[in-house]
Chain A
Amino acid sequence: MNNQLPSKTNVIIDTAAYLGRKILGRVRIGSISLLTGICLLALASPSRGAKPADGYMNHASLTKSLQDLARENNDCEIDAIGSSREGRTLLAITLSSDAEIASSKPALLIVAGLDGRHLVGTETAFRVAKNILANHADILQEITIYVIPRVNPDGVELNLSSINAGHIGVMRAVDSDRDGLINEDGPDDLNGDGIITLMRRLNNPLDDNATHLADPSELRLLKKPDVAKGERAIYSIYPEGIDNDNDGKINEDGPGMVDLDRNFMHEWPEHALDAGPYQVSEPESLVLAKFVLEHRNIVAAIVLGRHDNLINVPDGKGKDVSGKGPKNLDSKDVALYKEISKVFKETTDQERAPKENSDGSFHAWLYAQRGIPTFATVVWGRPDPSPEPKPDEAEEDDEAEEEADADEGENVEEETPEEKPDKEEPKPSDAEDAAWLTYSDRDRDGSGFVEWKAFDHPTLGAVEIGGFVPGFKMNPPADELDGLAEKQTQFVLELIERRPKLVIQGPDVKMLGPGVYEIRFGIVNEGYLPSATSMASKAKAIPPTVVRISTELDQIIAGERVSRNWQIAGSGGRFTQRWIIRSDDSKQVTIDVVSAQLGDQSISFVPSEVATKEND
């Protein structure tokens, strides 16, 4: 269970087990969200008391930035597309050289900020728009870019405004523990550092199972015991907080919890509380779905959030629950994703991304049901920690210096290979977490991790509070945002460069006999991407390219009067028509093309005037 939180999975399960809660399917409740968390760091400030967030925008500053952008740029329009549950305006900007005809040009959709913790996505989406307007506005003659930079302002605001509890979802009131009370037991910042982390308790009484021990390779990290090797659990783990409602459970029903990225239609995790009572049940997710459905000119999308399909391209294997749709990608679209993945890695230098369960996510829906090639990125992968300081430079640092075997591979979930038997130092049980901790120590002044400190808990007694700062693993220091956005802008430009480019060829008209003409007509895709994915063509989700000739049926000797094409392959793929018709010498023939990408077009000609002869 709980594929979304790979590095903390064990902790979560055991916490839940301790709390005597039966976790059915994947139920993430208030307490669990605390474990994953957000990083709202002021740059280079110590972790303790760190306040969000120099260089990161809250709702007000984002709104102002977008308004300024629209005011200062003729090619940028701003629209209120809806409201969050708490009434914050959801904003979209449209980048186009001509707002009037923006919707008749092929469009790229960029969406960010579905997860309350993922601030870097919003920052990047905004900067990409700004960069394109400043330096690449010429492309807006040919393509429209829609940017929805923050879909979940309520969740973000909760994290930014008071205590960083790593809130993921929107603010629907949910009775997470089904006790008839709503949100009555949320997290409590016991140590007053503005961050919700974990509590670990030694000396457990009988009713309280110890589940973890300190990882011998890095005593600040926790691991489950390997009983076969004689390891013994000594700690029980809880989220930071008290039992506000005196039900024996800590933080089991915090504020709202529907996760927008589990609220969409593809493989919706029905019956999971955080997936919502039904699909697109939240004002935020519904607005987003409607935006997509109302903009049929979208040819590709980028989702900046906690999911990734660019570093780790899905395998295109497996079926959905009905057995009729793909689990992740249609196998015929995998090559396309691999190519774009290559471009992404080249332009961004990003090497790592977590693997998250995509069930019910926005990006999975966009692809699997709307057929839109959708590229999801976390924007910022785990960086390599700086090299170990030389012993003479760090005299006192002789304990936590063992550099974790940072996983160099792309797939962070792969097991690290068995170490050689002659190696003496124990390996961390979670290499990624160990590397993050090293990075925090060496490059972030330790601001990513709250050091364990003793605390006298009102009901648990002596505990220690500490652990990763929620969101630390998602959001980079703010001074890296511009550089990241520059790379993402390059990727956006590369993706736009590879867009489907439909071009009309013909008509070529040939006279076959008296009043009998052969007409050939084609639409060629000069771009790299197909006009629609294989998924779109299978799902009939993107309307086909339609070609219609005005010649009456009884005058058509060969050929379809109306024909449809669901997918014009990239790199020169063609959709061709051949008609043989009868036509009076003076009669005009019109070929109508209906295409969201080309815009609707009409081509008229008089066959006798443009025809070549059969034997020419």
Chain B
Amino acid sequence: MFIRYLSQITIIVLSICAINSTCAAQQQIPSKTDITWNRFYNYDEISELLHKLVDAYPQLLSLQSLGKSEQGREMWLVTLNVAKTGADTEKPAMYIDGNVHGNEIQSAETVVYSIWYLTKSYGKVDSLTELMDRVAFYFLPMQNPDGRDYWFNEPNNPHSSRTGQRPTDNDFDGLVDEDGPEDLDGDGHIGTMWRFDPNGTSRRNRDDPRIIERVEPGQKGELSRAGSEGIDNDGDGRINEDGPGGYDMNRNWPSGWQPNYIQYGAGDYPFDRPETNAIGQFITAHPNIAAGQSYHNAGGMMLRGPGAKHRENLYPRSDKAVYSKLGKAGEEMLPFYRYLVIYADLYTVHGGFVTWLSEGLGIVSFTNELWSNSQMLQNSQKRLDQKGRLRWQDRMLFGQTLTEYTEYDHPTLGKVLIGGGTKYSSRIPPPFMLEELCHRNFAFTMFHADNMPLLSFQWIEVKSLGNDLWQITIEVANEKIIPSRLAIAAQRKIGQPDRLSITGKGIKVVTSGKLSDRFDKTIDPVDDRKHVIPNDGGIPGQKHKTFRYLVTGKAGAEIKLQYTAEKSRDIEISIKLESGAVTESSKDE
């Protein structure tokens, strides 16, 4: 029971503080697993970190592989659950993942940071301990293990290796992945090639030759752009037109899915990739997931659906209000991040992941786009031009994200310049800012998680009507922002309705139903199984709903009320048939 359970927590927290004098000094809580947060980790290293964390905190964490990626890498998922407060499936849970796009790397670190921070805080930080005792977490740092591995271990640029690694015929010539990029100058990055061309459109900047800029109309430049670094492997006259993979796993989810010709990268059908399929199976098997976050980069955004205009009607007004409350809080917690709607503020996405969570499963979900260039100057008003960004990178990063343009003798283009930024030069925070990025986003997801529904019987009134007839009026409250069922869930019949039921020896239910509030005189009667009042609309956030039973029974008989909800912990309470009101405080003995 909820009340009893809260008091247990208090006792646990107190006892821990009693034996641990550093309780209040939460800024310096050590972890059993030392992790450096000013660097990035490749697929193998992230996997190792997860194993270390799980080994260090076996009472909180468990590790499983949801399946194997296209190239056979494990899809690691960490469950955080405090076993002594119940199984994870009994609690509302938040699903947090990242890195569906292989190049959007800091998303995985942010997920691992969350596990790291939570585990070391258990029993030391009251609010997080309470949260962990109340809810469960599912963490999947790498939705796209192959894409991440390829990004780290092969030459790339900030935008490449977004895809998974299933060989794909992107140029429709009957061959797959036959013409990818090459690191011709051997610097570990895929740069840009510029061809010497007396009629060129561009030239090197006089002050900073690392900048290649367009010439004024009417003037002749000295360079023309020749694409990304590579050769024409298949001799079709095009360079790098069919590299590894070539699709988008964040377009492979069921809700609003559209085929490739309408939505690039969608695949042949939803879940046709091993990665999305494994995740889809896990999530559909866990209806207790009540909140979702999928980290991406970049741009500094907290995005919600819909991904396409024609799906606006899947966001009833009351659901939008829930998203807005969370998103607005996020804007305070995440400077330079904006709370936006995918199709309206970014671009149209069909078959995206968080929109499947929201629209298909009724889970309140966001995608955070990690890192914004505004963070370079910590000023959203001041925008840096290319020169300014280079200057900043020179001064702050000592030029580490830049490669000089060097001449290269290209087999088909002749003499070219190759250079530009490294794969770390954009979309990704500089390492010294990574920890802050991780922490702020972690904090936002904890705010989100803490607002998963928390139900209680806030007021119960038993009234004798004579002749062993009793009227029982019940208020079930939800003190958090997220309702026990989103409006879309009720509208589209997603999942099971919430239910209030009554049982008791010698009790017969005469009639039952919902009331608009405790002063309401008439019910909307339940006609079939009268002891169960279905409540498809759930308990709204930070509000309550009122129910009433008319029962017959002997005075003093014990009755049990139970309220069940898929996305909240079930609650129950036992009371006696005797006139009077029971409130939360009075029954907490």
Contact = CB atoms under 8 A, between A and B. Distances in A.
Contacts of B284: 277-278
Interface of A: 20, 24, 27, 175, 178-180, 246-249, 265, 268, 270-271, 273, 277-280, 289, 293, 321-325, 369, 538-541, 543-544, 546, 548, 552-554, 560-562, 564, 594, 600
Given A271-B494, A278-B360, A548 B173 contact: yes
B589 interface: no
Contacts of B256: 270
Nearest to A24: B493
Given A246-B528, A553-B237, A323 B172 contact: no
Contacts of B234: 562
Contact of B259 (A20, A321, A539): A539
A265 B491 contact: no
Interface string B230-248: 0010111100000000000
Contacts of B169: 543
B269 A280 contact: yes
B585 interface: no
A553 B172 CA distance: 19
Nearest to A564: B172
Given A248-B528, A278-B280, A293-B268, A538 B261 contact: yes
B310 A278 contact: no
Contacts of B496: 175, 178, 180
Please name the 3 residue pairs, one residue from A and one from B, whose CB atoms are nearest each other, closest first: A594-B174, A278-B254, A248-B528
B34 interface: no
Interface string B183-217: 00000000000000000000000000000000000
> Interface residues of B: mostly helix, strand, loop or mixed?
loop
> Interface residues of A: mostly helix, strand, loop or mixed?
loop
Interface string B251-266: 0001111111110000
B383 interface: no
A215 B205 CA distance: 87
B308 A322 contact: yes
A57 to B, nearest CB: 30
A322 B260 contact: no
B529 interface: yes
Nearest to B254: A278
A270 B254 contact: yes
B174 A246 contact: no
A277 B284 CA distance: 9
B420 interface: no
Nearest to B234: A562
B57 to A, nearest CB: 34
B527 interface: yes
A265 B260 CA distance: 12
A560 B280 CA distance: 44
A166 to B, nearest CB: 23
A554 B232 CA distance: 12
Contacts of A277: 254, 284
A541 B236 contact: no
Nearest to B564: A180
A178 B270 contact: no
30 contacts: A20-B527, A27-B493, A178-B493, A179-B529, A246-B528, A246-B529, A265-B257, A265-B259, A265-B270, A270-B255, A271-B492, A271-B493, A278-B254, A278-B271, A278-B280, A278-B284, A279-B254, A293-B268, A321-B310, A322-B308, A538-B261, A540-B260, A540-B261, A541-B259, A543-B172, A544-B172, A548-B173, A552-B235, A561-B236, A594-B173
B319 to A, nearest CB: 15
A247 B528 contact: yes
B91 interface: no
B11 to A, nearest CB: 34
Nearest to A273: B493
B162 interface: no
Interface string B459-480: 0000000000000000000000
Contacts of A554: 412
Interface in B488-508: 491-494, 496-497, 499
Given A277-B284, A543-B169, 11 more contacts: A246-B529, A265-B269, A278-B271, A325-B258, A538-B261, A546-B173, A548-B236, A560-B237, A562-B234, A562-B237, A564-B172
